[in-house]
Amino acid sequence: MERHDECIRKAKQSITVAEHVLKVTYPLVKESKLLLSTLEQIHNAHIALMQGVLTYEREMRTIPPFHTNFESMWNVISLRLEKKYSPTGKELQLLKTVEQTIKFHKDSAVAFERKGDFILASDEYVIQKITSEFVAEILRNTQHLVTKWTGLLTK
């Protein structure tokens, strides 16, 4: 199995786990921390998907070597591969939003549950609310993105 296939498999597996947690486990236990866990699985899927796409393009020698951090991979996809993969502004923003939310959680001073939502607050009193609807929308868009980009890899 080639490296890009392994990355795509990991992305699909992360999506499956995220979907199960959001649609089966979360409604059963109503623990809002599961929303963050689901978001982290989606983030893992984004990283694996970008790495799979870039590894494939690197194997085809269409791009130079790249760093495997999020920012570097996001820049290569948005700047160098825009014609082939035609990522829309919404898709690129999806990748960025999840990355920023995960980073905000790591940097947040306070995280708590309020009325079934997971609330993050920074030292400067910036508040971000993670709801099940927000995570479900991100999951749907991510599933569409994985389908779109993996379809382009097989052509």
The domain that holds 37 is classified in CATH as 1.20.120.330
pTM: 0.91
Residue 88 has pLDDT above 80, yes or no: no
Q: Are 120 and 108 a contacting pair, CB within 8 Å?
A: yes
Report how far residue 137's alpha carbon sits from residue 152's, in angstroms, rounded to the nearest whole number: 23
The count of structural domains within the chain is 1
pLDDT digits (tens, 9 = 90+) for 34-79: 999 999 999 999 999 999 988 888 888 888 888 888 888 888 888 8
Place of tokens 């995220």: 18
Please provide residue 70's backbone torsions phi and psi, each rounded to the nearest 5 degrees: -60, -50
Q: Say which residue the tokens 């990522």 belong to.
A: 87
- As to burial, measured by CB atoms within 10 angstroms (0-12 exposed, 13-18 middle, 19+ buried), residue 10 is middle
The domain of 98 spans: 3-153
What is the model's pLDDT at position 34?
Answer: 93
Contact (Cβ atoms closer than 8 angstroms) between residue 59 and residue 122: no
